Structure 1
Amino acid sequence: MGEDATTHAAPEIGQLGFAVVSPNPHSPAVEVSGLVKRYGPTVAVNGLELLHERGTVLALLGPNGAGKTTTVELCEGFLRPDDGTVRVLGLDPIAQSEQLRPRIGVMPQGGGAYPGVRADEMLRLVAACAANPLDPAWLLDTLGLTSASRTSYKRLSGGQQQRLSLACALVGRPELVFLDEPTAGMDPQARRLVWELIGALRADGVSVLLTTHLMDEAEELADHVVIVDQGRVVAQGSPRELTANQADEQHLRFRAKAGMDLRLLREALPEGYRVREATHGGYLVEGHIDPQVVSAVTSWCAQQGVLAEELSVSRRSLEDVFLELTGRELRA
């Protein structure tokens, strides 16, 4: 469900003034090796390896049930691994949780606030536990929550609950922030504001590990992307590295009548081009797209007595990579 229609101006955020100073600055933000977590016969995380460098944004992607949230909860110290090692800011999140907890911020799925508490009360409660918190009033204003500050959490819209959860994760000036689906349920204005905040965190040297189902969000924000499936890493790299293909490869997409025979189109194109019906009535041609290729496609459509609609040319996207690696079927 999206946010309500309440408008909120996006302030100029700039740098947040976190001034990150770490007692062990040379250790990675997160280092995971051979991580395993089982729930009965189900292996949620299966030998996962992960390295998150300091002061960067890492996006953890994967289909539903891939092990993303379990991995994050293991790193936060909320779950104990069955095998493997986890180090967060150089510390064991279970054995050294008291040392680690003040240095991290956590934005879980589902908010994590008390249903009856007011927005400003919740944020001030979290701020009171921090040694050097941000000003709660400033943070509420920055996230467009001032008008809702005296509203109980359960009466906030879904997007407002998400923004309050983000404020609680940031108010203590953490060195590392875990954001689980940070813009879920947000309207475009709030979503763009959160993107600006994450950019400001990076500029201040804060490390950010986020999960998201939004490929454009990962491409926009992440320095490093890790794609997991069935509890394992199946690909990783910068968005540019993951979407790089042959230097001149592009995608031509168009819509036409579903179920057309593609054999004649393949014969009309040069060797090496890939053609498929990617969705019902949605066709995809992969290769170097030049005017001759476009002409071949439109001529083939004319021979079939149909018109190629919504024809567009684009580079390979992170969504294309994600679907190639994890499959196109829906999962429970």
Structure 2
Amino acid sequence: MSRVLETFLDLARISSPTGREAVVAAYAAEALTAAGFDVRFDDTMAVTGSDSGNLIATLPGTLPGGVLAFSAHMDCVQPCEGVEPVVADGVVRSAGETVLGGDDKVGVAAIIEAARRLAEEGGEHRSLKVLLTVSEEDGLLGAKALSSEDASAGLCLVLDADGPVGGIVTAAPSHHTFKAVFSGRAAHAGVEPEKGVSAIRMAASAVQRMDLGRLDPQTTANVGTIAGGSATNVVAPECTLTGECRSLDRAMAEKVRDAMDAAMREAAAEHGGSVSVEWTLAYVGFSVPDGAPAVRAVESACVSIGVTPRCYATGGGSDANVFASHGTPTLVLGSGMTDVHSTDESLAVVELERLADLLVAMARTAGE
């Protein structure tokens, strides 16, 4: 059994739901310290609600090209407590009714293995930074709480995309979410319904007015929840709607946001009620041209370890969106995970090993 696999299995067995990352953080801190990194934690627990700060580790290097950062998050989606990883036919799965936790312990394990190899082998490498964040699965809270200085690097590689090693996410969307509360007037639905104003009817009318689903190759919109009313014989005085829109084109994301907002306000007014809409910018998108130096560097490193690189855009967000918003050139790398956020999650051992190889190759290559 390879060392990086043993590390991953150790991490998978540690329960680390969002907000309870301290044990994983301690494991990673010990390993990185032993590999020669200077390790510290930031003071963001009051902001994130986690039992740990974000881990920031640095190691000076001699190769030019600025600081190269490797990043992963330490929390997992539920159910992720009491994970029993099982290895069979070169694939790791969970033995029980839990996720495996490859998202994102595969990234943490690969970073630790790369650090160990660099320490053991000696030789030149770039100056390195490791960013292990908390509470990623709860709105990227850990990354958002990082200081600009901690988030800065010449290039940041976020190890948090599913699919085989060699995948390079060069673009991700801007993402807006909303919570809307429609207000009407209660009345007895059987005796005097005409005296009532149905908030559920307003919400339904708003949804009907919206253009939802895939709007174009870069843009999507969705209504995720609707809740309201108290009984079948009461005209509902309140109804809450939640949803989102996102696009690789930030202007388009804002255009769709405005259209959804207008649909809700028009529906409320038409049916004699009101609505309070709260919009949140979850994260800003990023885009790196395929021919950019950062992309070329990762492509070259992929080829050097026998992996075919492939660039693509994603409709999902990650800590990379936050790092990019600080002005840090950022890419997300395919890390071998499949069926993430489900109990069918799995990880091919060879992909885990390739990911560690790729990080070492990147560390050994001077940046432009």
Structure with more of its chain in strand, by fraction? 2
Q: Which has the higher contact order (CA 8 A, sep 6+)?
A: 2
Q: Shorter chain as normaliser: what TM range?
A: under 0.3
Normalising to structure 2: TM-score of the pair? 0.24
